[in-house]
Amino acid sequence: MNAPVEHAIAKQHLIDPEICIRCNTCEEICPVDAITHDNLNYVVKFDVCNGCLACVPPCPTGAIDSWRNVERATPYSLEEQFQWDVLPDTTELDNVEAPFAVERADDELPAEVQEITSIATAGQGGPALAPWSASHPYLNLYPPTRPITATVTGNYRLTADDASSDIHHIVLDFGATPFPVLEGQSIGIIPPGTDEKGKPQLLRMYSVASPRDGERPHYNNLSLTVKRVTEDHEGRPTRGVASNYVCDLQKGDKVQVTGPYGSTYLMPNHPGSSIMMICTGTGSAPMRAMTERRRRRLERNEGGELVLFFGARSPDELPYFGPLQKLPKDFIDINFAFSRVPGEPKRYVQDVIRERADKVLQMLQDENCYIYICGLKGMETGVLEAFRDICRANGADWDQLRPELLANARFHVETY
């Protein structure tokens, strides 16, 4: 049999179903809408993907970075990809240099995607752009096909009994099995049972809320911050499968855990490094982890500032930073924005950021300050606008500063 001629072969972009955690990041970021999903798998449309790689750096597991050479006329169809539990084996076709099925003109890419892709893939041996002094993260030690079993050792409600949201602090213990995590990383939880189509439940990701040495220092445990989902984005009543499962866990229950995930949203470790944290609601989880890490090392006098902007509906709905207000002002500078306090105007984090313009500008311009945003997607635009306004009002240029922040891994965003 004759081997197919080279130009008949094309590079097909695939997603490894064994390690994909179905976080939707790739689908959201793809500038040409080449990625889609069903209840089981995330897949790539062969006739749309142009190999721009915008989706590769943000993927927390690397599942997106999967490729096979195929005969251009007979690529793996979407229907085939939706059925896969594992990627197909490589074949002799993979030994040749093959082009993408769709030609890409670089200047067709949105400027922002081009910028992020080129920065995120430059240097550092790969896509990870963590602060230079971040510790080495372990990734994917336990994939969905081989989860680790953790034991619930605590489940505490964080919000007041009459608060509109039911947020829980969950403590998971890993016993004698190593599960190293850093502040800013996430883990996956696989709810038991099957979905409405009879398929096993997919994992859900949660940020770790405890520092690297454990929720309780030197215990092999960690904590999560989970809000019980009782309505969908349109406010219609619904029951979130995973959040209700997690919020109802009892001490002693066993939980299937995957991960850890996340190689860039990591805190700096060098003495003198400062951190600006901006969060809403349960987006406070990584901020609590970083703050607690610094608090446990207070007596080392390593310097550096912590400034927190935290948006919540009301003081009763604050996960964590209510109690942390007792921390010394010279350790952490806490700025709350409450949006639903009766008789008071709605305030969002971006409003408080504007009120602290001098401090914010100083931190944006401090090369030892690292900025972290976590929480509701909608906040991101508001915060970026506030940064732009603060720069403009003070003779600085946000459009010049932002790429510098990205290139130096000083700007980290995790919004949903």
Per CB under 6 A, the segment of 3-11, 32-40, 278-286, 394-402 that binds ligand NAP is 278-286
Annotated catalytic sites, by residue?
Answer: 206-207, 374, 414, 416
* 292 scored as a contact of ligand NAP (CB under 6 A): no
Per CB under 6 A, the segment of 25-33, 141-149, 282-290, 397-405 that binds ligand NAP is 282-290
Of the two residues 93 and 285, which places its CB atom closer to ligand NAP in the complex?
Answer: 285
Which one among 376, 384, 396, 413 touches ligand NAP, defined by CB under 6 A?
A: 376
CB atoms within 10 A of CB 254: 12
Q: In the window 322-361, what residues touch ligand NAP (CB under 6 A)?
A: 339-340, 348-349
Q: By the 8 A CB rule, do 333 and 274 touch?
A: no
Q: By the 8 A CB rule, do 232 and 238 touch?
A: yes
- Separation of alpha carbons 377 and 223, rounded Å: 23
CB atoms within 10 A of CB 118: 14
* 378 scored as a contact of ligand NAP (CB under 6 A): yes
Of the two residues 15 and 337, which places its CB atom closer to ligand NAP in the complex?
Answer: 337
CB of 393 to ligand NAP, least distance (A): 20
CB of 62 to ligand NAP, least distance (A): 20
Binding mask of the shown chain, residues 128 to 167, with x at each position contacting ligand NAP by CB under 6 A: -------------------------------------x--
Residues 6+ apart with CB under 8 A from 298: 331
Residues 6+ apart with CB under 8 A from 37: 22, 24, 27, 43
Of the two residues 70 and 277, which places its CB atom closer to ligand NAP in the complex?
Answer: 277
* 211 scored as a contact of ligand NAP (CB under 6 A): no
Look at the chain and count its residues: 416
Of the two residues 94 and 316, which places its CB atom closer to ligand NAP in the complex?
Answer: 316
* Strand 306-312 with 274-280, pairing: parallel
Which one among 21, 255, 374, 390 touches ligand NAP, defined by CB under 6 A?
A: 374
Tokens encoding 109: 């890419």
Tokens encoding 383: 């915060």
Q: In the window 395-414, what residues touch ligand NAP (CB under 6 A)?
A: 414
Q: By the 8 A CB rule, do 10 and 1 touch?
A: no
Residue among 300, 292, 319 nearest 213 (CA): 292
Largest CA distance in the chain: 80
Which one among 25, 375, 405, 409 touches ligand NAP, defined by CB under 6 A?
A: 375
* 173 scored as a contact of ligand NAP (CB under 6 A): no
- Separation of alpha carbons 331 and 310, rounded Å: 16
* 313 scored as a contact of ligand NAP (CB under 6 A): yes
CB of 84 to ligand NAP, least distance (A): 28
Residue nearest to ligand NAP as judged by C-beta position: 281
CB atoms within 10 A of CB 157: 13
CB of 192 to ligand NAP, least distance (A): 20
Per CB under 6 A, the segment of 9-17, 28-36, 191-199, 368-376 that binds ligand NAP is 368-376
- Separation of alpha carbons 349 and 368, rounded Å: 23
Of the two residues 56 and 337, which places its CB atom closer to ligand NAP in the complex?
Answer: 337
* 373 scored as a contact of ligand NAP (CB under 6 A): no
Residues 6+ apart with CB under 8 A from 48: 32, 33, 34, 102
DSSP state string for 97-128: ---BSS---GGGS-HHHHHHHHHHHSSTTSS-
Please report, as ranges, the residues that interact with ligand NAP according to CB under 6 A.
Answer: 165, 206-207, 225-227, 280-283, 285, 311-313, 339-340, 348-349, 374-376, 378-379, 382, 414, 416
